[in-house]
Amino acid sequence: MATKIRRLTLSAGWLVVALVAGLPLFGVIVGLWPSVPISEADVARFFAYNGLTYSITNTLFISLAAPLLALYVAFMVYSQYRFNPRWQTLEKRLAPLLSLPHLAVALGLVYLFSSGGMVFNALWGLFGQTAPDWLGLPRKSLLTMVLAISIKEVPFFLLILSALGRQLAIKDWLLQGKALGYTEGASWWLLVFPIMLKQSRLALLAAMAYSLSVLDISLLVGPNIPQLYAVVLYNWQTGFNAYEQANAFLGNLMLLIMLGLLIVSIYGHEWFTINRLRINAVMANPFKIARLSRLFTAWLGFFSLLTVAILITFLLWSFGWNTQSTISTANWSFSLWQDEWFFMQGPLLHSLNIAFFSSLLGVAVTLLALELQQQTNRKLPDYVWLMAILLPQLSMVYGWQVTHTGLSGSYSTGWIILSHLPFTFAYSYLVLRGPFQSLNQHYELVAASFGYTYWQRWWRVRFMLLRPALLSALAIAFSVSVAQYIPTLMIGAGRVTTITTEAVAIASGNEQSITAVYILVQAALPFIAFLIASILAQRIRGSFDAEHQ
């Protein structure tokens, strides 16, 4: 009887985790089911769509360039900080830096460095001159997109490299490299980078899949003519006529082909780079270009400064600053905050509600997935659990939207929470997997010798030791949910508004001051979550943290 109950419980558990982890794949498959019959003429019309080729190539370029740039920068930063006393500071600041939403970084760059931007104007103002427009960062362009994504992804890759670094004998390899006559910089590139590059495949794919189908920042800072592919596809997906529905189906197919191309390019880039580095290793090349890495000792300062500058800019705009004003002539007031508070309460409550429940559920399902794998001794590969961040969001959410409509689902926060769940789950899994799997089992063995049952040990030892990592996972899952745009918009059909959907809607217009208010609130939510998590984690003593994987 007991065995039967255990089997039933395990099966129910597997069913829950399979449903959550499998939802992205389900969405993609449903999205590939044509809602209207597709003819050859439809295919021809699809390919004849004005600007499609540029749209696709531009998107591929961004999806390839931005994550790779971020990975290289992150590696150079990592190589400069890893054995430096400042590493501890950097590791502590990584999570809050990671919590800054993409939207805030993208718009922050525009507010600061576009023509009319604060830094841009201030710099030229120093010389008493008016800045030429062409020199500023374009408000909507490929360059702005690449910069925004790559700057934002550097902390993500640093987190990945930091976790990888703990499993590699980097210190000994560098010592060997130096004993053989190489500089430390050359040793990092020739000995450490090839291994880290191979192990960063999934992270690269996640960043590329994100860049491929990101909608909010594509709408706001991506090029206009032609628009980026995510915007074009979204317009088809939300269209009602047969032509748009046919294009939505073919567009989804195209998005997956683009993802396939990106996967091939990840392997191609890896093969090329490792081969080049291997040739340099065989030739004992001193690899002087590695000196460039030294420039990145300034990264922590730069990124912190940029974050502060972005937040200050938004604050100034929200208090009455504009492109025409100076500090003395600006009409400073709180009125915008007071006015907007009335409109903001609903979306803010929705954001909090959705993020709270989806992050809690995401972490709970993650624990279940990890526990089931441990109990059944069946470890599934990471990509199975991380499909939500490895597959293009637009394709999967489109499939969910079709299903949601088919089920005559209501436009309520419950459905939005469900649509955020795969993402909060995937990120929680990324954070918790290491601490959970490498937890020293001797603690539980000792507890067992004292007569504690399995579940008592689980709760009183394992869970308690994992509390700091659980808090980090909750904070990350919360920020992931707050920043979700596509699922909220498509499943909520615009009827469930959150701070993020409102911020994007307002930023699409010309109201920079109101946009600043919403972006600040959007950025504040994850920051507060991380602050609470770090305060609570500091109160827990003798526990096992994500940092000690």
Partner 1 sequence: MLSISNCHIHTDNGRIELPDITLKSGELLVLTGPSGMGKSTFLHWILGDKITHADISGDIALNDIPLNGLNIEQRRIGLLMQDVHLFPHLNVIDNICFALPYSLTGSNGKKLHKSQRRKVAINMLDNIDMGYVAQHYPDQLSGGERSRVGLIRALANQPKALLMDEPFAALDPKTGALVSQWAYNQLQERGVPSIMVSHDIKNIPPQAQHLDLATYYHSTK
Least distance (Å) between residue 438 CB and partner 1: 20
The per-residue DSSP string of 100-140 comes to S-HHHHHHHHHHHHSTT-HHHHHHHHHTT-PPPGGGSPPSS
Whole-angstrom distance, CA of residue 251 vs CA of residue 255: 6
Answer whether the bond into residue 24 is a cis peptide, omega within 30°.
Answer: no
Least distance (Å) between residue 424 CB and partner 1: 35
Least distance (Å) between residue 193 CB and partner 1: 9
Q: Which is nearer to partner 1, 232 or 277 (CB)?
A: 277
Cα Rg for the chain, rounded, in angstroms? 24
Q: Are 272 and 203 in contact (CB under 8 A)?
A: no
Least distance (Å) between residue 274 CB and partner 1: 7
Q: Is 392 helix (H, G, I), strand (E, B) or coil?
A: coil
Q: Which is nearer to partner 1, 190 or 486 (CB)?
A: 190
Least distance (Å) between residue 277 CB and partner 1: 9
* Residues 6+ positions from 357 with CB-CB distance below 8 Å: 417
Q: How buried is 159 (Cβ within 10 angstroms: 0-12 exposed, 13-18 middle, 19+ buried)?
A: buried
DSSP 26: H
Q: Which is nearer to partner 1, 186 or 230 (CB)?
A: 186
Q: Which is nearer to partner 1, 178 or 460 (CB)?
A: 178
Q: Which is nearer to partner 1, 72 or 234 (CB)?
A: 72
Least distance (Å) between residue 164 CB and partner 1: 13
Long-range contacts, stretch 244-249, CB < 8 angstroms, 24+ apart: 245/34, 245/35, 245/36, 246/34, 246/36, 246/38, 246/42, 246/45, 246/46, 247/42, 247/45, 247/46, 247/49, 248/35, 248/398, 249/31, 249/32, 249/33, 249/34, 249/35, 249/36, 249/38
Give CA torsion, residues 331, 336, 339, 344, to 10 deg. 180
Q: Which is nearer to partner 1, 122 or 279 (CB)?
A: 279
Least distance (Å) between residue 199 CB and partner 1: 11
Q: Which is nearer to partner 1, 39 or 176 (CB)?
A: 176
Q: Which is nearer to partner 1, 185 or 492 (CB)?
A: 185
Least distance (Å) between residue 281 CB and partner 1: 5
Least distance (Å) between residue 170 CB and partner 1: 11
Taking the alpha carbons at both ends of the chain, their separation in whole angstroms is 39
* Interface residues toward partner 1, by CB under 8 A: 169, 172-173, 175-176, 178-183, 190-191, 194-195, 198, 274, 278-279, 281-286
* CA atoms within 13 Å, Cβ hemisphere of 305: 6
* Residues 6+ positions from 105 with CB-CB distance below 8 Å: 148, 151, 152, 310
Least distance (Å) between residue 542 CB and partner 1: 25
Q: Which is nearer to partner 1, 44 or 283 (CB)?
A: 283
Q: Which is nearer to partner 1, 19 or 284 (CB)?
A: 284
Whole-angstrom distance, CA of residue 472 vs CA of residue 486: 24
